[in-house]
Chains A and B, each alone.
Chain A
Amino acid sequence: MNRYRGFFVLALIIIIAPIIFPDSYFVTVVGVTIALNALVAVGLNLLMGYTGQISLGHAAFFGIGAYSSGLLTTMFSWNPWFALLMGLLVTWLVAEIIARPILRLKGHYLAMATLGFGIIINILMVQPTHITGGPDGLSDIPVLNILGWDIDSDIRWYIVANGALLLGVWLALNLINSRIGLALRAVHGSEVGAQMMGVDIERIKIRIFVVSALFAAFAGSLFAHQQAFISPDSFSFHFSIELVVMVVLGGMASNYGPIFGAAVLTMLPETLVVFEDYEVLILGAIMMGIMIFLPQGLWVGLSQKIKPLFLNKATSSVESVGG
Chain B
Amino acid sequence: MKRSLKALVAGFALLCSVNVAQAADIKIGTFLAVTGPASFLGDPELKTLQMYVDKINSEGGVIGKKLKLIHYDTGANPKKAVNFAKRLIKKDRVDVIVGASTSGTTMAVIPIVQKAKIPFISMAGSVKIIEPVKKWVFKTPHTDKMAARKIFLDMNKRGIKKVGLISGSGGFGKSGRSQVLALASEYGLTITADESYGKKDTDMTAQLSKIRATNPDAILNFGFGSGPAIVTKNVRQLGIKLPIYQSHGVASKKYIKLAGSAAEGVRLPAASLLVASKLPGSHPQKKVIQAYKSSFEAKHGPVSTFGGHAYDALYLAVEAIKRAGTVNKAKVRDEIEKTKNFLGAGGIFNMSKRDHLGLGLDAFKMLEIKNGDWSIVE
Complex CA distance for A25 and B89, rounded to whole angstroms? 10
Among the 9-residue stretches A91-99, A105-113, A182-190, A226-234, the one with 4 or more Cβ atoms under 8 Å from chain B is A226-234
Contact check, B4 vs A29: say whether CB atoms are below 8 A apart.
no
Complex CA distance for A27 and B79, rounded to whole angstroms? 17
Q: How far is the CB of B351 from chain A (nearest CB, A)?
A: 22
Contact pattern, B 112-123, Cβ under 8 Å of A = 1, otherwise 0: 000000000000
Contact pattern, B 79-99, Cβ under 8 Å of A = 1, otherwise 0: 110110011001100000000
Q: Which one of A21, A136, A280 contacts B128 once the chains associate, using CB atoms below 8 Å?
A: A136
Asked whether A279 and B4 contact (CB < 8 A) given A20-B9, A30-B83, the answer is no
Contact pattern, A 285-323, Cβ under 8 Å of B = 1, otherwise 0: 000000000000000001100110110000000000000
Q: Which one of A24, A231, A280 contacts B12 once the chains associate, using CB atoms below 8 Å?
A: A24
Chain B CB within 8 A of A19 CB = no
Chain B CB within 8 A of A146 CB = no
Q: Considering only CB atoms, which chain A residue lies closest to B178 in the complex?
A: A129
Contact check, A136 vs B15: say whether CB atoms are below 8 A apart.
no
Chain B CB within 8 A of A270 CB = yes
Among the 9-residue stretches B169-177, B294-302, B311-319, B335-343, the one with 4 or more Cβ atoms under 8 Å from chain A is B169-177
Contact residues in A for B9 (Cβ distance below 8 Å): 20
Q: Considering only CB atoms, which chain A residue lies closest to B34 in the complex?
A: A277
Asked whether A234 and B78 contact (CB < 8 A) given A21-B16, A25-B87, the answer is yes
Contact residues in B for A139 (Cβ distance below 8 Å): 107, 110-111
Contact residues in A for B1 (Cβ distance below 8 Å): 9, 303, 306-307, 310
Contact check, A228 vs B15: say whether CB atoms are below 8 A apart.
no
B interface, size bucket:
35 or more
Chain B CB within 8 A of A14 CB = no
Interface of B is mostly: helix
Contact check, B107 vs A135: say whether CB atoms are below 8 A apart.
no
Contact residues in A for B77 (Cβ distance below 8 Å): 233-234
Contact check, A271 vs B15: say whether CB atoms are below 8 A apart.
yes
Residues 29-88 (chain B) with a chain A CB within 8 angstroms: 35, 72-73, 76-80, 82-83, 86-87
Number of chain A residues close to chain B: CB under 8 A: 42
Contact check, B83 vs A33: say whether CB atoms are below 8 A apart.
yes
Most buried by A among B73, B104, B126: B104
Q: Which one of A9, A25, A137 contacts B86 once the chains associate, using CB atoms below 8 Å?
A: A25
Chain A CB within 8 A of B103 CB = yes
Interface of A is mostly: helix
Contact check, B16 vs A136: say whether CB atoms are below 8 A apart.
no
Q: How far is the CB of B284 from chain A (nearest CB, A)?
A: 33
Complex CA distance for A129 and B170, rounded to whole angstroms? 11
Q: Considering only CB atoms, which chain A residue lies closest to B175 in the complex?
A: A136
Most buried by B among A134, A136, A271: A136
Chain A CB within 8 A of B3 CB = yes
Q: Which one of A13, A21, A129, A229 contacts B111 once the chains associate, using CB atoms below 8 Å?
A: A229
Complex CA distance for A9 and B175, rounded to whole angstroms? 49
Chain B CB within 8 A of A86 CB = no
Contact check, A229 vs B107: say whether CB atoms are below 8 A apart.
yes
Residues 155-202 (chain B) with a chain A CB within 8 angstroms: 169-171, 174-175, 178
Contact check, B178 vs A233: say whether CB atoms are below 8 A apart.
no
Complex CA distance for A129 and B77, rounded to whole angstroms? 19
Contact residues in B for A24 (Cβ distance below 8 Å): 12, 16
Contact residues in A for B283 (Cβ distance below 8 Å): none
Complex CA distance for A309 and B2, rounded to whole angstroms? 11
Chain B CB within 8 A of A191 CB = no
Q: Which one of A30, A126, A273, A274 contacts B169 once the chains associate, using CB atoms below 8 Å?
A: A126
Contact pattern, A 1-40, Cβ under 8 Å of B = 1, otherwise 0: 0000000010001000000110111110110010000000
Contact residues in A for B5 (Cβ distance below 8 Å): 13
Contact check, B104 vs A231: say whether CB atoms are below 8 A apart.
yes
Contact check, B86 vs A227: say whether CB atoms are below 8 A apart.
no
Complex CA distance for A310 and B1, rounded to whole angstroms? 8
Q: How far is the CB of B163 from chain A (nearest CB, A)?
A: 20
Contact check, B103 vs A29: say whether CB atoms are below 8 A apart.
no
Asked whether A137 and B107 contact (CB < 8 A) given A9-B1, A21-B12, the answer is yes
Contact check, B175 vs A227: say whether CB atoms are below 8 A apart.
no
Contact pattern, B 1-24, Cβ under 8 Å of A = 1, otherwise 0: 111110001001001101000000
Complex CA distance for A229 and B83, rounded to whole angstroms? 13
Contact check, B16 vs A231: say whether CB atoms are below 8 A apart.
no
Contact check, B15 vs A26: say whether CB atoms are below 8 A apart.
yes
Residues 265-283 (chain A) with a chain B CB within 8 angstroms: 269-271, 273-274, 279-280
Q: List 6 A-B contacts (CB under 8 A).
A: A26-B16, A135-B171, A136-B126, A136-B128, A227-B78, A274-B18
- B interface residues (Cβ-Cβ under 8 A, vs A): 1-5, 9, 12, 15-16, 18, 35, 72-73, 76-80, 82-83, 86-87, 90-91, 103-104, 107-108, 110-111, 126, 128, 169-171, 174-175, 178
- A interface residues (Cβ-Cβ under 8 A, vs B): 9, 13, 20-21, 23-27, 29-30, 33, 126-127, 129, 134-137, 139-140, 154, 227-231, 233-234, 269-271, 273-274, 279-280, 302-303, 306-307, 309-310
Kindly list the 7 A-B residue pairs having the minimum CB-CB distance in the complex, ordered from nearest: A135-B171, A25-B91, A228-B111, A229-B108, A231-B104, A29-B86, A234-B79
